[in-house]
Chains A and B, each alone.
Chain A
Amino acid sequence: MRADLRLALVGNPNSGKSSLFNALTGNRQKVGNYPGVTVERRTATIEAPDGRAISIVDLPGTYSLTPNSPDEVVTHDALVGTSDVEQVPDAVICVVDATSLRLHLKFVLELKRLGRPILVALNMMDLASRDKIELDPDRLSEELGLPVVTTIAVRRSGVAQLVNMFRAADWSELWEKFDTKSDSNKPNPSVRDLQKEARRIAEAVTISEGIEHALTRRIDAVVLNPVAGPIVLLGILFLMFQAVFAWAEAPMEWIDASITTLQQLSLRYIPEGLFQSLIVDGVLAGVGSVIIFLPQILILFAFIIVLEASGYMARAAFLMDRIMTMAGLNGRAFIPLLSSFACAIPGIMAARTIDNPRDRLTTIMVAPLMTCAARLPVYTLIIAAFIPNSAVFGGVGLQGLVMFGLYMVGIVSALVVAAVLKKTLTKGAPPRLLMELPKYQVPRLRDLILGLLERARLFIRRAGTIILFSMIVLWGLASFPAPPPDATEPDIFYSAAGKIGRALEVVFAPIGFNWEISVALVPGMAAREVAVGALGTVYSLSGSEDAVASSLATVLQSAWSLPTALAFLAWYIFAPQCLSTLAVARRETNSWGWTAFMFGYLFALAYVAAGATYWTAKALL
């Protein structure tokens, strides 16, 4: 669609820019990437009350127009007009945090030098009044020579007023009143001059200075305490992993029941033959065993979104900084690594916030060791099948405890690998940590829901495309060639997949994997969770009708020994098995060498860990 008016949303990080973008555009957003750099690009087209099409791009948050990081380069280029992607915006909406006016004003003054129309959205007015800060928006508009709108983005307050301004008549009237061309001709002032001017304006428009947010202070007294803080952090992480297990149980059962029903319906209504097998064993058994993990993935993301939006995530980085430094990493690496619990891809991309290139590389290399959500299906399946659902230490579930342990092994290995890398391949001066610890906020349900919907959409799209495709290919490989008439083994044993599996078994037998597992590891390269779907297909095709009806966990209980199951878990702590992660690592490091290194070291660790687990368990049990 052609836009009648192109707007760009800019502002400091933590100014509530994303909330305002959400409030303006709702679910009409398109999320993409800037080519070359992997900075996320959010755009949307909305309609003004008079029917004009307004396109809005949410530029990455920056503290200044000096292009110091890839994010800032994108914003700088888009505003100055040197971007290959963005057309120069007709106007800029600059989001300003009312509780931190002086700092944000410096950026507004810097923007003014560009000589473009700027609309100031004085945001977080609710937090300002909570902190007893009183501002004079009219005076601010006068001082800046720019139109000012007060907003509370999280409550969508002031948003309608903003959208009303986009009407053609109002828009031209607005810019007759404010002349924005004059500033661009003046010589560039120094940062300190801008600060002085920002301070002057802030003082002039502040009616009452306000009190410091008492609640933030009280929470920080506990959360940032050197003793209590780490305990709280550990408690939150522990709660997160218990919740992933406990809360997801019911919805997972519903999904499981629906898939079983679909399979039974297909068995009844589709004539017996190849097509029935494709639907029941290929599509439903395969894709179904992946879709079932949607509730767990959403719970995990819900935690991450809430921790981020509440302001706690930066505190976690603060608390972890010393430990991260010991591993040769930056406290900032904590956020990319924590995101990697959801998926290594956003984690690797989030490493862009680390300004030191060596640290960034180290963080990227160890990000896949953090247990991503795609490993959850694997862990859940094996734990449900082999670890008794009993309680230890007063009510703590053993299954949850094992899950927690798997996560911890991932974290510890990431720290060890990082430390080794920093001593060898990525040697260099210790990195810097400088970041704002934002005021606490109650996360908004609307932002949480929008975030979760996006994750769910991505996951289901993956399930519907790459996973579905792998499942169909695997089903084909597993079904052909047909077994000889005098077959003594299950059908799949004679198929192409069976042959591949038996060939790979030579490599994997020493670490306790049978040929069925070896088959499942191949499509697992496409995405980790596919391995579960693949096991579903392999065992469904190798078993009788009964096997289809009973869950995969039950089938595995009789097919695998406990040492094999444990070795499989150990393999998946390290498994280098996700092509998308490798692709992103290649793009972010811009090096095939480092990508190959990542694959190689992960494979070696996975093999050794699985082998050691298998033989230790065998000796002990």
Chain B
Amino acid sequence: MYRYDVIDKTLVDERVAQFRDQTRRFLAGELSEDEFRHLRLRNGLYIQTHAPMLRVAIPYGLLSSKQLRTLGSIARRYDRGYGHFTTRQNIQYNWPRIEDVPDILAELAAVEMHAIQTSGNCIRNVTSDPLAGAVPDEIEDPRPWCEIIRQWSSFHPEFTYLPRKFKIAVTGSPRDRAASQLHDIGVHIARGPNGEPGFEILAGGGLGRTPVIGQVVRDFLPREHLLSYLEAILRVYNREGRRDNIHKARIKILVKALGIEEFRRRVEAEWESFKGHGPRTPVEEIERVRAFFAPHSYRVLEDTDPCAGQEAAFRAWYRYNTHDHKIPGYRIVFISLKKPDVAPGDATDAQMELIADLADRYSLGEVRVTHTQNLVLGDVEQDKTLELWRSLAQAGLATPNIGTLTDMICCPGLDFCSLANAGSIEVAKLINERFEDYDYLYDLGEIDLKMSGCMNACGHHHVGAIGILGVDKGGEEWYQITIGGAAGSDASLGHVIGPSVAKRDVPETLARLLEVYVRERQPDERFLDTVRRLGVKPFKERVYAAPAAA
């Protein structure tokens, strides 16, 4: 993985000093709440329902074991012993004290981490495929490009006061595991007509109140021009994006208002006017960064069947929580953070430290964070998966539900967030209580359940095969259900099935949707595909047919 040189180190250290001074001035009354707000937000610090929340960047979701150990240690010493992994591959602490934040940042800087631009109207932490570099289906490892974008976007002099937040995702595989079509810019590694390396560029995707799927701005961009092209898009957006209405300020609204043709024309015109002297990534720099992501020195092994003769619990875990690796004899292992009685995405200090140790022992010292709020050990020898499973199971980290209904995405909701209408964590608990039979979950197969506590859509409900959105009705929590959404290569937005339902009826509503699926599905058809084939109608009819059983 990438390691800091003197430039990177200088920048994060100087950032800590800058933020320490800003915090001191705020606590001394020299900065008003509002003045400090603009500064702290660009450093991931929110003031939340109960306490400040600090969001720490995990660039493109990749952590060393040492970094994860530090995250665990921070959780124990500055928080209440846990952290929350987010849909943007970051981690959030919900209980730090403002006066401690500069010290936390200093500890992060010591392990080459930071909270720069994890919130605020600026270019956010770049996200990517959590399986990058380990999967067989990749054109090219996207992480070097993520790192190049991370550096370019950090303290970008021109684009730190944008109309609204700005998210970029990069993928290197035809299978989109980074929800790239739902980002302000999606960068897809591609090949030109003669096989030359470059990118397809999308813009204007996003969730929130107005969900939109991104559109192609450029079919093929030669790789050395990536940064100048991103600058052209950002410049058009910075100048022309709306600043009068926070709900209409994302680039998706600009792209919609202009139409993709006109938006493309403006971006191309801007790009043509400066690409000759704009930032260009020379081959030496591309190679310098790529060297950090060179393939590991894998052992020469053969594929084996670790499940042969083993107990059913291991076999279920192996089937659901591991994935093919590009190297024979290796396996990608998911660590589920979706244990039924735990808030989705949460991990304790001890769990983080244990996972760091397991990464050292079994997976070349690296851990990845997925946008579905799980962790991944990317390079595990197949013969070691049984040992690894036993260690994970003892720590409550082997819930065999990856890709199933209970592997749900969920925002922190009312329990922590000052924006939320609904206690999404509580609903997650109700769902887990209702759907605790693994045979049934496995029979249902792959279903993305995504839940947001409010229309800001941090839980990506629009792109869940089943989406759940918390709404406020006269001070009560209600839930609007959508079906048919997807975040992958076949991205689509879900359809509302009808009036929202009361909290206690959410599990029954899901049960009825699933009942229709089980009745109507064709062999090997996913829930999503059944919905696409039949439309909302049969589901709607069943859900609203009669009052939910008490």
A and B interact physically: no
Which residues of A line the B interface, CB within 8 A?
A: none
Which residues of B line the A interface, CB within 8 A?
A: none
